[in-house]
Structure formats: C-alpha cells, structure tokens
C-alpha cells in the first residue's frame, strides 16, 4: 500500500502568535515565514487580516514573497468584512486559501454568538460561498467541534463542503478531546457525512491536557489528512500540536501510520531556534525533538549501548532534525566507555594508569560541575600527563580569610608512606597562607616568580587553572593545578612545583645549585 501525504498546515504566525507574549512584528513574521517555506510546510496561516493593520500587512507581504512555494492562508470570522479583508490581503498571492470559522458547540452558540443551529448553518454556508468567489481553496472550521453535538457537526460539515469548502478542519479549540474520543469524532464524520470524500479532513488540536499531538495522530489514524500545528507547540493558552513532534512521529512510525509529509526534517531544529529567539519563548531542555536534551545521553549504561549501536537507545538520528550538538553528554552519570571515547576523540592516547586517574578526576569534577566541557577534560588530562614527581601528596586543606580576619591556611600532607603531617600558616591572603604552610611542611623556602590564573571552561562553576613559577636556590620550577576552587588549584600548582624542587633535593641537585647561586635568597 503506497504511503499517503499528510498536509502540514503551520499556524505559528496566527494561532502561535496568540500565545501571550509572542506577538511578532512584520519583519519578524517575514523571517519566520521564510523559515517555514524552507522547512517546506504545505500551508502557512500567515495571520488574521481584520485583526489589525499589522496583521493585514504581514499576510500581504508573506503572500507576495512566498506564495509561489507554500499556500498562504488568511483567517476570517464568518463575516463579510473579515472575508473582504482576507481577500484583499491575499490579492497578489499565487497559492492562496481563506480559512473561515464559526463556532458550533452549544456553549458557544448560546453564550458567545447567541445564534441558533439554523442561523449557524446559514452563516457558515454563506461565508464559505463568499470566500469561494475569490479562491478555490477554502477551509471551514466549526470552532469547538470537539464539544459539538455529533449530528449537528455532521450537518455543518456536509453543508459547508457542499458550499465549496475543500478542507474541513475539526478544531479541538479548548483541548478537551482525548485520543480515543477524537478518533471517534473523525470516524463518525467519515461514516456519516455523505460528501466527506470531496474535502480533506483536518485536525487543529490544543494542548490544554497535554494531548494535542496524541489527538492529532489519532485523527490521522481515523483518516484526517491535514494537521494544523505550530513550531515549538506555540499557541493560545497551552498551545497547539507541535509541528516537529507530529512530523517526527509520522516519520519514525511510518511503519504504523503508512503516511508521509513533505517536511525537510533537517530544518526542524534551526526553525525551532529561530522561532524561540524571535518570540522569546524558550524551548525547554527536555522538549521532544528540538530540546537540547532530546538526543543527549548522560547515563553510562546508555552511552555504552549507543557507542556499540546507536539504535539501542535512539529512535531518531539527531542529524535528521538538524541538531548538530553533542549527543553523548559527559556528566556524573557517565561511565568509562563514554569517557574513553571522548578522550580518544580529543586526540589523546592515555596509558591505563593515567586514564584511570583522569577518569577519577573527571568523576570528582562532575560531582561539582553541571556541565563538563571538552576544555575541562583537556585540562584534567594535561594535569595528569605531567611527569612531575609526587612524593608529597595533599591530604586536606582549610583556609579562612575575610576583611576582619588574618588569612590562615591549615594543611595536611603525606610524604610517601610516612605519617600525615599537619601545619598552619598565616599570609597576606589565603593563597599566600597556603604557600607558606606548604613550604613549612616540606621544608623548602621558595620565591614565587609568576602566578597566573585562568578559566578553562564556561560558566560560574568553570574549572580554574593556576600556573606558578617558583625559584628555589636559583632554579625555576613550574607547577600547574586545576580545580573549580581556585585556592585548591593554587595549592595543587604550588605543591607540584615544590615536589619538583624536593625531587632535586633528594637527588642532590639543589645542593649543587646552591653552591652556584649561594647569594640567591
């Protein structure tokens, strides 16, 4: 059985713009329209021309620029003046559609429109006929269809199709439907509207119960062939069905739905980003398809699986939706396989011992830091790759400082298997106090010649790298340390430099140097 096409009708610029705080100016709407055309949506609902001169202008300009590629649609109430404005806005459009709507549910009839069923039918028919005089492509929406009596809904749909509607949209205006209920509504229309084959059945689902996408898919199962949706699920209240979710569900489960869309899926992520930046509506990280976490694996077991075979934990490929970011995110839940993979990608070949030490450093860092960047990993590797002697190890350090306190450092160090030594010192600041305490325990007096500190990665919790150069009896020694705590990084750097001086002392090198530079303090 060959796969049928689902028409993707994007209403980001109309219903999407109805999201509080999401108004766009004409220039912004043109940018979004361009992105939608590049995404290859079939129909763009560009606005509601009667609503404001700005909406009118936007529909007109979008129609002039893009109607050769996508059908441009304008919304109108079932009123002559609305339809006249829609016609005027679309006057120069190549592919154009007028979308007329009128509520049909008892609640809307009685309380909002104050019209009875007969008046609704007559108004709907005359409006569709009015729009039809201008263009062949006319869509009719019985607003609040999901809460409309089924027999009355069938009557409205049948009569508007007879009047010329080529698409009948069945809106779940208030997000009241559930998947099985909505399936039954569409099936009922298919079974009870005599001319239903003369029009395309469309869905327009709102997300008040978080079911907009599920309901849209259910309608497709029942025979709907157009889906109205928005980028990032923008729209009135909780929004509309998210275009990217509907499209990727149909593509990923083509085995089940046996339908396809014309969407260039690799444009989904960039389009989502564009709409987010223009509207200021951030995409939540765990949002399906276009959230930053949508293709990210942090858990070691998942990362191990994905490294062996991507499909163990991925049902879609990030590149198919245009996401180019990293999908194996290193963090506290990552394991050795993913870490080794990244180390290799960064171009390092570590022996087992260095790898294990670096991995331990990485896990310790991941406990402190939300995100681990490649630059963090490089700094950790670099730190472990130095062949510096490590006779003295830092067991613990404690500093206290403040405007009214004398900066003090208390340190515990261990030299090989000897008992742990503890000492304290004061200084000009906490780092100076640490340096003095280190010198006291190791019994080496050094002169600090250079001290540099820089941030290795991004964010407030970034790794800091400290590099020091000390002079011991005329010989320079370099030390480097990295940590999210700059005092800890400075301690590690100074200790590394002192360990080098200590190694020379052990080897008798310092005493030789001492003779040569006897005057150096």
Ligand X SMILES: CC(C)C(=O)C(=O)O
Cβ 149 to Mg ion shortest distance, Å:
20
Read out DSSP for 211-273? -HHHHHHHHHHHT--EEEEBGGG--STT-B-BHHHHHHHHHHTHHHH-EE----GGGHHHHHH
- Given candidates 4, 110, 111, 112, which one binds ligand ACO under the rule CB under 6 A? 112
From ligand X, ligand ACO, Mg ion, none, interface partner of 245 (C-beta below 5 to 8 A by class): none
- Given candidates 11, 26, 67, 78, which one binds ligand ACO under the rule CB under 6 A? 78
The answer to whether 260 is annotated as binding is: no
- Given candidates 16, 171, 322, 464, which one binds ligand X under the rule CB under 6 A? 171
Place of tokens 């472990």: 384
Q: Which is nearer to ligand X, 75 or 497 (CB)?
A: 75
Cβ 12 to ligand X shortest distance, Å:
12
Coil, strand or helix at 455: strand
**Residue 235-254 contact track with ligand ACO, rule CB under 6 A, x = bound:** -x------------------
From Mg ion, ligand X, ligand ACO, none, interface partner of 102 (C-beta below 5 to 8 A by class): ligand ACO
Stretch that binds ligand X, among 119-127, 166-174, 377-385, 479-487 (CB under 6 A): 166-174
Q: Assess 439 for contact with Mg ion (CB under 5 A).
A: no
The token pair at 289 is: 């398809």
C-alpha dihedral (13, 15, 21, 25), degrees to nearest 10: 20
- Given candidates 77, 304, 467, 505, which one binds ligand ACO under the rule CB under 6 A? 77
CA neighbor of 14 nearest in space, from 40, 52, 68, 42: 52
The token pair at 29 is: 């709407």
User: Which residues, other chains included, contact 218 with Cβ-Cβ below 8 Å and sequence gap of 6+?
Assistant: 179, 180, 182, 183, 186
User: Which residues, other chains included, contact 352 with Cβ-Cβ below 8 Å and sequence gap of 6+?
Assistant: none
From Mg ion, ligand ACO, ligand X, none, interface partner of 141 (C-beta below 5 to 8 A by class): ligand X
3-state secondary structure 107-172: HHHHHHHCCCHHHHHHHHHHHHHHHHCCCCCEEEEEECHHHCCHHHHHHHHHHHHHHCCCEEEEEE
Q: Assess 143 for contact with ligand X (CB under 6 A).
A: yes
Q: Assess 16 for contact with ligand X (CB under 6 A).
A: no
Stretch that binds ligand ACO, among 43-51, 225-233, 302-310, 479-487 (CB under 6 A): 43-51
Q: Assess 15 for contact with ligand X (CB under 6 A).
A: yes
320: DSSP letter: G
CA neighbor of 358 nearest in space, from 370, 376, 371: 376
Q: Is 211 left (phi over 0), alpha (psi -120 to 50) or beta?
A: alpha
- Residues in 92-131 at the binding interface with ligand X, rule: CB under 6 A: 101
State how far the Cα of 70 lies from the Cα of 370, in Å rounded to an integer.
43
- Given candidates 6, 10, 15, 97, which one binds Mg ion under the rule CB under 5 A? 15
Name the binding residues: 15, 204, 206, 240
Q: Which residues bind ligand ACO (CB under 6 A)?
A: 15, 18, 48, 50-51, 77-79, 101-102, 112-113, 143, 173, 236
Name the binding residues for Mn(2+): 15, 204, 206, 240
Q: Which residues bind ligand X (CB under 6 A)?
A: 15, 101, 141, 143, 169, 171, 173, 204, 206
């Amino acid at each position: 059985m060959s796969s049928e096409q689902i028409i993707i009708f994007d209403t980001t610029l109309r219903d999407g713009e109805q999201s509080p705080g999401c108004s766009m100016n004409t220039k912004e709407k043109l940018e979004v329209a361009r992105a939608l055309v590049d995404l290859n949506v079939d129909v763009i609902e560009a606005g509601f021309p009667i609503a404001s001169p700005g909406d009118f202008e936007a529909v007109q300009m979008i129609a002039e620029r893009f109607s050769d590629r996508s059908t441009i649609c304008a919304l109108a109430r079932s009123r002559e003046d609305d339809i006249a404005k829609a016609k005027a806005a679309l006057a120069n459009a190549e592919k154009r559609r007028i979308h007329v709507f009128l509520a049909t549910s008892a609640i809307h009839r009685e309380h909002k429109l104050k019209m009875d069923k007969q008046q609704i039918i007559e108004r709907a028919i005359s409006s569709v006929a009015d729009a039809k005089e201008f263009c062949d492509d006319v869509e009719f929406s019985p607003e609040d269809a999901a809460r409309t009596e089924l027999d009355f809904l069938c009557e409205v749909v049948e009569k508007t199709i007879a009047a010329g509607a080529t698409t009948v949209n069945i809106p779940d205006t208030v997000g009241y439907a559930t998947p099985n209920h909505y399936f039954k509504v569409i099936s009922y229309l298919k079974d009870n509207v005599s001319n239903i084959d003369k029009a395309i059945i469309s869905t327009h689902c709102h997300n008040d119960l978080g079911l907009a996408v599920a309901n849209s898919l259910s309608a497709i199962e029942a025979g709907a062939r157009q889906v109205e949706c928005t980028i990032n699920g923008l729209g009135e209240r909780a929004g509309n069905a998210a275009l990217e979710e509907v499209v990727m569900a149909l593509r990923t489960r083509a085995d089940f739905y046996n339908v396809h869309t014309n969407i260039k899926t690799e444009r989904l992520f960039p389009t989502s980003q564009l709409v987010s930046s223009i509207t200021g509506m951030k995409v939540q990280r765990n949002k399906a398809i276009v959230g930053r976490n949508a293709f990210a694996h942090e858990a070691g077991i998942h990362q191990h699986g994905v490294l062996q075979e991507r499909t163990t934990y991925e049902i879609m490929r990030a590149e198919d939706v245009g996401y180019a970011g990293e999908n194996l995110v290193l963090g506290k839940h990552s394991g050795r396989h993913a870490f080794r993979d990244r180390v290799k990608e960064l171009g390092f070949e570590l022996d087992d011992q260095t790898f294990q030490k670096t991995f331990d450093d990485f896990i310790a860092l991941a406990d402190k830091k939300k995100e681990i960047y490649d630059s963090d990993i490089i700094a950790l590797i670099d730190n472990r790759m130095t062949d510096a002697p490590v006779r003295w190890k830092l067991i613990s350090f404690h500093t206290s400082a403040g405007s009214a306190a004398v900066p003090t450092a208390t340190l515990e160090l261990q030299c090989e298997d000897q008992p742990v030594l503890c000492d304290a010192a004061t200084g000009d600041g906490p780092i100076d106090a640490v340096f003095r305490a280190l010198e006291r325990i190791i019994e080496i007096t050094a002169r600090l010649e250079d001290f540099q500190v820089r941030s290795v990665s991004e964010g407030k919790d970034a790794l800091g790298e400290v590099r020091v150069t000390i002079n011991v009896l005329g010989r320079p020694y370099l030390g480097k340390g990295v940590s999210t705590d700059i005092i800890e990084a400075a301690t590690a750097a100074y200790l590394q430099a002192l360990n080098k001086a200590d190694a020379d002392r052990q080897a008798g090198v310092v005493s030789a140097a001492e003779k040569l530079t006897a005057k150096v303090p």
